[in-house]
Structure 1
Amino acid sequence: MMNPESNRNKNKEVAVIGGGIIGLCSAYYLHKAGKSVVVIDKGEIGKACSFGNAGYITPSHFVPLAAPGMIQKGLKWMLNPQSPFFVRPSLNLDFLHWLWSFSKRCTQQHTVNTQEAILDINLKSLALYEELHAEDALEFQFYQKGLLMLYKTEKGLKEEAKTVKQANRLGLNAKLLSPNELKRLEPNIDFDVIGAAHYPEDAHIAPYELLSSLRIYLETVGVEFIEQAEVTNFNTGSLQGDDIPANRSGPIKIVSAHYSKGAEKGLISADEFILANGAWSGETGKRLGLKLPVQAGKGISITISNDPNNKCSPTTFDCKTPFILSEAKVAVTPFNNEIRFGGTMELGVLADQERRGISPNRIKGLLKSAGRYLPAFRADNIDQSQFWSGFRPCSPDGLPIIGRCQPYTNLTVSTGHAMMGLSLGPISGKLVSEIITGSTVSVNLGPFDPNRFHSEEKIA
């Protein structure tokens, strides 16, 4: 009887595990570097977290998720089922360790130590987006209309003023706007706010438009895609090629990866492996004996018609600039004749969140918040069944995890981007390519080193 795996063997120079924005950008830059690439994804390429997010490219977001006050806010918001931030209780040890590590980093010193690195990598990615948009082979709309942070409270606006001041210190253009100045910038929309901050260097795209274009291009140049296929195991060996037991120390090479695609089984052999499957990277890493501290942060969104000529539109806003309803943590993005409302952060064990689906309370909270800032918003006409959800991969220090991962000599990790996955897609892909080809890397990878959590593993 024929081995079912024998017809599914793939041999490439690089295997990319994960077909979201990080995986596709990695494949793009690796192909440009002359590498043969296969991309494997447990679902449909580009349809996970990359699909329904706000589409922001955000140099303005240089403050890490692990910021001062987040623990206090989280404890307060846990009492409100419609709050924008919710930590689902769990006794899962990995999750508890992540929360402990996160809480340690919610300090002013951590923010000061990391904001320059976060801004630098965002600006580098923005420049790469401009290059990608100029490529004839890729077709996607790129809008550099800036970003508005809207505030209803004096306390919130005062805190944002500090961020604006720090942005200016770091060389980023930003300023506060009064309600009258906001009206001059967006004359056709009424906001019920006391002020705003404007970051004119930010940009936005329609995420799936880019992902679709990347996939079409990559297929035409020979990059192979394997969808609906989950990596189930790895074959490893010493540098001499011998099989090596899991408990042996020293450098290890990944030889191949097994995957299942329905009833079919397959094997991918490659010289290099990229782990870039977002919120699932921690679980995949366990199959290699790794403890990647990545937890899933569920976000939701809904995209509705924003065409004033369409009488079926539940609500329309004639706006050009994306904006965030800051206290409510709701992002609002215009895309041609559509507008997307997205937000919330629900932290918890991934398997539990996948099983539970979208919480009705999260939907109610988002729609209620939108109405508080936007008097013209009509939530009662929105079909709530059309809400989408995705899982952001969150690291405990709020920084991406990018680089070689010990003890493996041919494994590069790119995950943990949280809400900045779309923003950092191009630079993350370019860094992966630079690591594998041995080129000079575009940014200092020290702050993003996957091995930075090893000391905490030993403590735990």
Structure 2
Amino acid sequence: MNKEIIIIGGGIIGLCSAYYLQKEGHKVLIIDQSNLDSGASYVNAGFLSPSHIIPLSAPGVMKQGIKWMFDKSSPLYIKPRFDIDFMKWTLAFNKSCTAKHVKKSIPIIRDITMLSQELYRDIKQDESFQFHYESKGLLMLCQSEKMLEEEIKIADLGRQHGLEASEISIKDLKKLEPNVSINVKGATYYKCDSHMTPQDFMGEMKSYLKGSGVEFLTNEKVNDIEMINGHVTFIKTNRKEYRADEFVLAAGSWSSLLSKKLNLQLLLQAGKGYRINMAQETGISIPAILSEAKVAVTPMNGFTRFAGTMEIAGINHDINEARVEAIANAVTRFYPEITINQKDKNNVQAGLRPVSPDGLPYIGRSKKCFNLTIATGHAMMGWGMGSATGKLVSEVISNKSTSLNIDAFNPDRKF
């Protein structure tokens, strides 16, 4: 049965959900508080990375986070504050930082990211889209022997789980990247990874959806959600009320605020990330992560993007200049011939990524609300899991068997 569906949130998750829902014949309305031209879906590294099999909540991360708490230029910065939601999230995050959790999460993360890779390719072919998509793999660049040893262990683990991953010599690294000088001790290489230019895809997908009958309401903020007997009856924005058969909560870092309207305990924190674009030719042709600095490097359509940091400091878009400088300095340390100029640093943008305590997204329905499907909490992997999440949302709402087992993504799971 075709349904009227309202999607709250027009980022990558919202658009992909709309894409698959309209394919099923549903009538879709997307409501977003922005103009749909900024945010995490536009400033991310564009990675489609099965290589990212280790969740953010891994052994040692909390300890390292405490050490970095007093360094505002660190790759991970958790701002301490007296906030009940933050404290609940922190306790749950710490509880998830175990080897057992990592072992359980690896195949789950691998499967959803690999499905997303396949679905992005299918979308491009099926709709004759022209968005930038390349499969050149991903380099993990290391400047210390200690970090190289750690990355080799992770690559071995990835290979055990079916990923094309290996250590590569400096000689082979120069063959892969002949046009740029790289200052490293060594590297690992994930041939299985791909990358995109986010704004290319977002623009093309929005145009397609509008042409397919999906309605967009921009600069409209959802202020309230009315629920009666376990069913959302309407949502109220700053302009009017809207009713539908089904609702999708894909509002990124704002999802936890809206979930409170339904008495749902959706533990989320906003993780701010920064990006610097460089139009000048860099010679970089293969995406990379600068391992010690946790900076992502992506050759995109007409420019190179440098992105990084995870700043958990509440919902805000304030630019921390120290973190911008940390990204720029890391780039020059790893690529000695590349210097990011002040103009490019001044044009930095930030986006907020919704971070769950265990590093896995929330996808599916809560037992407390029968006509609401939740799709958020992807942390740094929102882009890499976007198309698969959209398909899963569509399958849940259309009462179809899901392409993947979604038990691990249950919004009601306990931490």
User: Which TM bucket (shorter chain)?
Assistant: over 0.9
Q: Secondary structure at the match of 1:324?
A: strand
Q: Does 2:300 match 1:326?
A: no
Any residues of structure 2 matched to 1:179-218 within 5 Å, and which?
Answer: 179-218=170-209
The match for 2:328 is 367
The match for 2:309 is 344
Structure 1 residues without counterparts, runs of 5 or longer: 1-11, 239-251, 307-315
The match for 1:234 is 225
Amino acid at match of 1:342: A
Aligned 8 A contact 1:129 1:426 in 2:
yes
The match for 1:257 is 235
Alpha-carbon distance between aligned partners in 1 of 2:19 and 2:67, rounded to the nearest angstrom: 43
Alpha-carbon distance between aligned partners in 2 of 1:137 and 1:131, rounded to the nearest angstrom: 10
**Equivalent in 438, 442, 457 of residue 399 of structure 2:** 438
Whose Rg is larger? 1
What do residues 11-56 of structure 1 show as CA deviations (whole Å, max 9, x unaligned)? x711000000000000000000110000000112252210111100
Alpha-carbon distance between aligned partners in 2 of 1:413 and 1:394, rounded to the nearest angstrom: 14
Aligned 8 A contact 2:9 2:32 in 1:
yes
Alpha-carbon distance between aligned partners in 2 of 1:64 and 1:46, rounded to the nearest angstrom: 28
Q: Does 2:415 match 1:449?
A: no
Give the Å deviation of 1:336: 3.0
Aligned 8 A contact 1:178 1:194 in 2:
no
The match for 1:248 is none
Output the aligned Cα RMSD.
Answer: 1.3
Aligned 8 A contact 1:95 1:348 in 2:
no
The match for 1:92 is 83
Alpha-carbon distance between aligned partners in 1 of 2:211 and 2:129, rounded to the nearest angstrom: 12
**Equivalent in 407, 413, 420 of residue 381 of structure 2:** 420
Alpha-carbon distance between aligned partners in 1 of 2:262 and 2:69, rounded to the nearest angstrom: 35
Q: Secondary structure at the match of 1:128?
A: helix
Structure 2 residues without counterparts, runs of 5 or longer: none
**Structure-2 change in CA distance of 1:81 and 1:234 (3 Å):** closer
Give the Å deviation of 1:368: 1.3
The match for 1:276 is 250
**Structure-2 change in CA distance of 1:59 and 1:46 (3 Å):** farther
What do residues 105-137 of structure 1 show as CA deviations (whole Å, max 9, x unaligned)? 111111001111110111111110110121235
The match for 2:20 is 29
Aligned 8 A contact 2:278 2:340 in 1:
no
Quote the sequence identity (%): 41
Give the Å deviation of 1:201: 1.3
Alpha-carbon distance between aligned partners in 2 of 1:106 and 1:18, rounded to the nearest angstrom: 30
Q: Secondary structure at the match of 2:292?
A: helix
Alpha-carbon distance between aligned partners in 2 of 1:423 and 1:413, rounded to the nearest angstrom: 18
The match for 2:346 is 385
Number of residue pairs the alignment of both structures matches = 414
Amino acid at match of 2:310: M
Q: Secondary structure at the match of 2:15?
A: helix
The match for 2:271 is 297
Aligned 8 A contact 1:259 1:267 in 2:
yes
Alpha-carbon distance between aligned partners in 1 of 2:127 and 2:249, rounded to the nearest angstrom: 29
Amino acid at match of 1:345: M
Alpha-carbon distance between aligned partners in 1 of 2:200 and 2:373, rounded to the nearest angstrom: 27
Alpha-carbon distance between aligned partners in 1 of 2:342 and 2:31, rounded to the nearest angstrom: 39
Alpha-carbon distance between aligned partners in 2 of 1:217 and 1:289, rounded to the nearest angstrom: 35
Alpha-carbon distance between aligned partners in 2 of 1:210 and 1:295, rounded to the nearest angstrom: 26
Aligned 8 A contact 2:78 2:312 in 1:
yes
Aligned 8 A contact 1:17 1:273 in 2:
yes
The match for 2:11 is 20
Alpha-carbon distance between aligned partners in 1 of 2:123 and 2:284, rounded to the nearest angstrom: 25
Query: 4+ residue runs of structure 1 moved beyond 6 angstroms?
Result: none
What do residues 59-111 of structure 1 show as CA deviations (whole Å, max 9, x unaligned)? 10011000111012112222322211111111011001101110111111110
The match for 1:163 is 154
Aligned 8 A contact 2:166 2:190 in 1:
yes
Amino acid at match of 1:23: G
Aligned 8 A contact 1:92 1:349 in 2:
no
Q: Secondary structure at the match of 2:245?
A: strand
What do residues 142-167 of structure 1 show as CA deviations (whole Å, max 9, x unaligned)? 11111111000111111111111111
Aligned 8 A contact 1:14 1:273 in 2:
yes
Q: Secondary structure at the match of 2:308?
A: strand
Alpha-carbon distance between aligned partners in 1 of 2:202 and 2:302, rounded to the nearest angstrom: 19
Alpha-carbon distance between aligned partners in 2 of 1:210 and 1:124, rounded to the nearest angstrom: 17
**Equivalent in 353, 358, 381 of residue 319 of structure 2:** 358
Q: Secondary structure at the match of 1:375?
A: coil
The match for 1:143 is 134
Aligned 8 A contact 2:197 2:301 in 1:
no
The match for 1:312 is none
Alpha-carbon distance between aligned partners in 1 of 2:276 and 2:226, rounded to the nearest angstrom: 41
Give the Å deviation of 1:382: 4.2
Q: Secondary structure at the match of 1:384?
A: helix
Alpha-carbon distance between aligned partners in 2 of 1:139 and 1:293, rounded to the nearest angstrom: 37
The match for 2:113 is 122
268-277 or 317-326, which deviates more: 317-326
330-339 or 427-436, which deviates more: 330-339
